[in-house]
Structure 1
């Protein structure tokens, strides 16, 4: 193949992706299938991309500019939300999306097959794309949160690649794609839940974290203004006030933070959460934690999963905004995530990855990528959202209104 014909082939492939024709998804997926035709004299073979070369997308998935091309379709989309101006301790999570992508480069080095879950999320019924990042201003938190909500909703609300014509669990009775968001500090979960609420109504939340994040703003940060009252420790309080959460089905897992006092637990209950402490793993093990989560959220509720990387002990994930010792190991977290197989995960996020504090070995970004690999595998194994049997939210299932900031 001549140099001119090679360039022509590249331009054709780029045009196909840009216009949303993903019939060649299986051809593009994986680092060993994107071939370069060697034009060196006397060498007519082909060479696959190395896992350490090329642009960084999550797991080396195909990239598509989904936000600017409304006709691009997918079943699962990764989208970044590079926002970190809601942090109370160490900033830097605005670089989380790029760091997680870097840490994910070798996920499908050997083909991507998930042995414990017996599935391959990179080669399945699902079209999976990396849609890049939502443009987010770093100068105006209120506007940034609106950008995140609207960007997420743009990705969430379009027809999926698979079963677009079938009924699904959304408020409109349609099947929607799943969206996995790369944070960003944990403040981003509020606009993401606002987007989810527009599509699904109030949802059940599984929240992996070392902190409750349901603090009243007057307790956490002092609430000097409405803008300051929304941060990475109060977003669930606001979500509850806005009616975004289903009552009595939400759960925290991995909690081990200090509190201002026992009243923090009372407020947490008002927001509709049950708590699994990190230390419980010493008495009930991973199986016991999995059982508690499954019993709390059920198998029919549409579930949103939010994973703060500080769920892990800093020995395994030092690069985070507010590290807390005494956390779970990467192996334990992945085991717990796999134990959620069969739950109706409609969307997820991972947050608080701040690569500047990582080791040279990229411990945190790799752990974050591996956790998302498990979540992605669960979504793929569950099948399209059109197959889910869900109960609609009953009257009064969400909490909201009232209360002082």
Structure 2
């Protein structure tokens, strides 16, 4: 099993329980500061508490973390196993940062070697819902990967509650919630950051989960890092000032913000420091769907209403064809499919759907805030 295969049980493991919207994720690590790292990466809307002894209620998932003596020998051993066939029904992870190699499955444990931007091995044991992350002795934990493993459990538990992943930015501005939906480089994060600079709150810069319930479309945060391009920072007066002194390798993920792999990377505490207030939301109603079209040639925005049936079709198309999945993790695809079907059924029967708009804009100066503010003020609550 994953635990006996990978962790030296003679060493003392420290434990924490992560509570996120009713789901319990247990984390075991060979380092005392893992709880602090988790609290930083997962934000204020999850509770990270030390565990002492056996808990009365079983966790939804267990994540194990540790440095491994003899890491290279372990890797050779795993590489010798029969390679696992690629899953045809899993799309590549849209973030694209975590290059990895599937090493195969043995005794019910799926093994994956990570290559860039960090070196490590993840072992996934579906029967016990456990994920084990190992790295060479002397190396440090790669915090975004630890966050990703814990988030995996939270996301799957969300599917079981009828929630669906959406690749979008989610903000609440002037008391109304908006999902900003579009493909890469459409301007989702840029528009969200402009709204934050004017007082908005952020539920997710690139992903969240939604669920239709009665007459509302509800959104729920999935903790993850906010990644912002240089171009977005340069074109945002607030960010350009706040991040002016952040250079390559200037900090760690646990301190932040930092510039890494071509983008500024910030967890919730760093976002709060940048905007000088608490910006993270755990949940909200979605009153509008906004489809951005960023074009540097645009010098004056064009904000155009979109018929609700067209906007909902775009939302459902994004859910089906732009799924934020990591193809090296095992997913409960049947439950996800059921959640997606529930959302589609809700869009056909709900008496009230979010209002929909397309926003074509360019540099910051192209935005007409009087029109944007009036549009948000006019949304149905």
Normalised-by-shorter TM-score class: under 0.3
Q: Which has the higher strand share?
A: 2
